[in-house]
Amino acid sequence: MRKESAITMTEGSIWQNIIRFAIPVLVGNIFQQLYNTVDALIVGNFIGKDALAAVSSSGSLIFLMVGFFNGIAMGAGVSISRYYGAKRYDDMQESIHTDIAFGLAAGVLLTIIGVTFTPHILSLIGVPESVMPNSVAYFRTYFSGVITIVMYNIAVGILQAVGDSRHPLYYLIVSSFTNVVLDLLFVAVFKWGVSSAALATVISQGLSAVLCFSRLIRYDTVYRVSLKKVRFYPGKFREIISLGLPSGLQNSVISIANVVVQSKINLFDVSAVAGCGAYSKIEGFAFLPVTCFSMALTTFVGQNLGARQYERAKKGAAFGLVCSMLMAEVIGVCIYVLSPHLIALFNDDPQVIGFGVRQARTMSLFYFLLAFSHCIAAIMRGAGKASVPMFTMLGSWCLLRITYITIAVALVKEISVVFWAYPLTWFVSSVVFLIYFLKVDWMHGYDQKKKS
């Protein structure tokens, strides 16, 4: 068998390996972000600010429901990358096929929950009555096909765990252009409404999933997928859960806090919901360098600790941290300056623009803190210490954020108070992570656990 298109991060130049992995992920994430951004752009311009608010109000809930299962899948990625780095290909195969079985089960469960409980869930976070019908339509359509989105993430996670970030990029470019065409066709030409934007996303992500699995099944590699082998291997399932559950819980608690933040934004008018929703799409692009270096660091650290190259793992972690923070801050400065023009792309209502600009100029200069926290969390996941970011995020991004926003909004009914919830909690998590990173020997302990 051959290790087709994979990057072996246990040898060669550290910075070249990380950059070679990160750049395709970055470009791919740009196209990934276009999915939701194009939905919002087309809906906001062709239907109006109420429809834009409906799409925006669903975002935090979608991540709440999908984020837990994606976090579990991260555990599979760590398991796969470690076995790949250690050249234990039989164990890697069992992890891969258990991961796929988990994705199928998660997709079915999410579909049932999302379609059945949509109105109740949206009511709980106080979605304005004027946008409720559109929100329900968008949410239900999205979750009717959520299994395609889950399986796409599973397939990409497998490829990235072995160092192949190029092919997911190629497939994502194809599906992104498909999404743009379908959005324009469904919304602008056929006038099918808000739900058709979700339908375009589901179809496009389904195309990506088919292309990824086609490669995994057809090519004779050490990580080749065989449909006959897809099942839950008990030992590997327990390992994936132990590695991934902290990340899943971390995603969930962050999402719960963000849902609370969204509920406070919903207390203001539709223009606030639409403006903040437009900003969230722009912020998604700022988050891209953070995401790409996070993924690269998890894979790099996982492979090198699997091969017991501790000093190499440490150097790679430091390099990725610096690059991610610098890139995030440069983008933050650009967003601060250009925010009026960027928000206006989604909707030209002055009130919508005003709310979006206020949020952008409150948060964008603190993106380096966001980058630092996420990259340290990625390093810890790669080191098999996923509980560290879970508890840190639980304390700072969930409990502290909810406490702050509940008290602050009750005392000062001003939307800027809501916006400050993010940079303040980013700062707290960064301080905690910095102390842990400098004081604790995070590189050792995995091998001993595996032997016991």
**Residue pLDDT, tens place only, 351-403:** 999 999 999 999 999 999 999 999 998 888 888 787 888 888 889 988 899 89
How distant, in Å, are the alpha carbons of 22, 119, 310 from that of 51? Answer: 35, 17, 51
Distance CA 300, CA 18 (A): 7
User: Given its phi and psi angles, is residue 163 left (phi above 0), alpha (psi -120 to 50 degrees) or beta?
Assistant: left
SS3 sequence of 231-242:
CCCHHHHHHHHH
Degrees (nearest 5) of the Cα angle 281, 332, 163? 75
Look at residue 350 in the predicted model and tell me its pLDDT: 92
CA dihedral for 275, 277, 280, 282, sign (positive or negative): negative
Quote the pLDDT of residue 274: 87
Which one is predicted more confidently, 210 or 126?
Answer: 210
Distance between CA atoms of residues 336 and 299, nearest Å = 32
pLDDT in tens, 260-278: 888 888 888 788 888 988 8
Flag the least confident range among 255-264, 388-397, 426-435. Answer: 255-264
Cβ atoms of 22 and 293 closer than 8 Å: yes
Confidence class for position 134, pLDDT limits 50, 70, 90? confident
Spatial contact of 9 and 315, defined as CB atoms under 8 Å apart: no
Q: Is the confidence at residue 444, as pLDDT, over 90?
A: no
Supply the pLDDT for residue 193.
87
Report H helices in 219-348: 234-265, 270-286, 288-306, 310-344
Q: Is the pLDDT of residue 144 over 90?
A: yes
For range 326-334, the mean pLDDT: 92
Looking at the chain, the whole-number percentage of residues with pLDDT higher than 90 is 33
| Burial of 452 (C-beta count, 10 Å sphere; 0-12/13-18/19+) | exposed
> Which 3 state secondary structure label does DSSP give 2?
strand
Q: What average pLDDT does range 400-415 have in this prediction?
A: 88
* Mean pLDDT to the nearest integer, 224-242: 93
Specify the pLDDT at position 212. Answer: 93
Structure-block tokens of residue 294: 């996070």
Q: Are 216 and 158 in contact (CB under 8 A)?
A: yes
Name the residue among 324, 325, 301, 322 with its Cα closest to residue 311: 301
Burial per residue of 334-363, b for 16 or more beta-carbon CB atoms within 10 angstroms, e otherwise: ebbeebeebbbbbbebeebbebbbbbbbbb
CA distance 152 to 178: 15
Q: What's the maximum distance between 2 C-alpha atoms anywhere in the chain?
A: 64
- To the nearest whole number, what is the mean pLDDT of the chain? 85
Contact call for residues 50 and 135 (beta carbons, < 8 A) = no
pLDDT of residue 5: 54
Reference 69, options 237, 241, 257; nearest CA is 241
Alpha carbons 295 and 276: distance in angstroms, whole number: 27
- Report the interhelical angle of 166-183 vs 146-161 (nearest 10°): 160
As a whole number, mean pLDDT of residues 137-141 equals 90
Residue pair 275/418 in contact (Cβ under 8 Å)? The answer is no
Please check the confidence at residue 450 and state whether its pLDDT lies above 60.
no
What's the pLDDT at 41? 81
Quote the CA–CA distance of 247 and 378 in Å, as a whole number.
Answer: 10
pLDDT digits (tens, 9 = 90+) for 49-108: 777 777 776 666 777 777 788 778 777 888 898 898 888 999 999 999 999 999 999 999
Select, from the ranges 53-57, 116-120, 221-225, the one with the highest average predicted confidence (pLDDT).
221-225
Residue 279: pLDDT band with limits 50, 70, 90: very high
Q: For residue 190, what is the DSSP state?
A: S
**Alpha-carbon dihedral sign for residues 347, 351, 357, 360:** negative
- The predicted model gives 213-227 an average pLDDT of 93
> In this predicted structure, which of 292-296, 370-374, 404-408, 418-422 has the lowest mean pLDDT?
292-296
Residues making up the chain, counted from first to last: 452
> In the 8-state DSSP scheme, what is residue 35?
H
pLDDT at 26 over 90: no
Estimate the crossing angle of helix 132-144 against helix 49-85, to 10 degrees. Answer: 30
* Helix, strand, coil share (%) of the chain residues, nearest 5: 85, 0, 15
2 pLDDT band, cuts 50/70/90, is very low
Summarised one tens digit per residue, pLDDT across range 155-192 is 988 998 888 878 888 888 888 889 889 989 998 899 89
Indicate the pTM of the whole model.
0.71
Coil/strand/helix, residue 221: strand
CA dist 422 and 401 (Å) reads 7
Express as a percent the part of the chain with pLDDT over 70: 94
Q: Which residues of 254-293 are buried (b: 16+ CB within 10 A; e: fewer)?
A: bbbbbbbbbbbbbebebbbbbbbbbbbbbbbbbbbbbbbb
